[in-house]
Amino acid sequence: MRIEVLLPEHAEQVLGIYQAGIDEGNATFETHAPDWAAFDKAKLPGHRFVALDDGGRVLGWVAASTVSDRCAYAGVVEHSVYVHPEARGLGVARALLDALIASTEAAGVWTIQSGIFPENTVSLALHARAGFRIIGTRERIGRHHGVWRDVILLERRSPVLT
């Protein structure tokens, strides 16, 4: 496995992995993956990566978005990480998070945050191992397929940029 910058040539596979995560029901409030133009516009160019196998197949992806346009939040991003169902348990998500952490710290980002459904225990454990801490639970923050859902808010503060 190798980690590379997420490029337009990866779009079809990235969006397919995103849709697979959406379809499982515990990854996001989204119900459909966006088209590439919307995805590309929403994700920060310097902070998006793919994990590729030896044949160039996308195993997973990570990307960050801005949290706010306010200058006080210039060093805060929100991220998403998704792994192809057949590539789970192989260290793909951790390798992607490590790449994201390296790129954000190099750019002066001091906080990476994410909201994760409490039922997504695998993702919560992964993030804990990568240095994220639970800030709290946003109870009934949104409806997902007609059901109110909670979200666990996590953050990783850079120990380098304190």
The residue-averaged pLDDT of 87-109 equals 96
Q: How far apart (Å, rounded) are the C-alpha atoms in residues 109 and 21?
A: 27
Q: Does the pTM exceed 0.85?
A: yes
162 pLDDT higher than 80: no
Please give the angle made by the CA atoms of 133, 135 and 151, to the nearest 5 degrees.
Answer: 105
161 pLDDT higher than 90: no
Confidence of residue 118 (pLDDT cuts 50, 70, 90): very high
Q: What percent of the chain has pLDDT over 70?
A: 99
pLDDT greater at residue 115 or residue 160: 115
Domains of the chain: 2-112 (3.40.630.30)
* pLDDT tens per residue across span 45-60: 999 999 999 999 999 9
Residue 150's alpha-carbon distances to 27, 54, 78, 83, 98, in angstroms, are 12, 38, 17, 22, 27
Sign of CA dihedral 122, 115, 70, 161: negative
Confidence of residue 1 (pLDDT cuts 50, 70, 90): very high
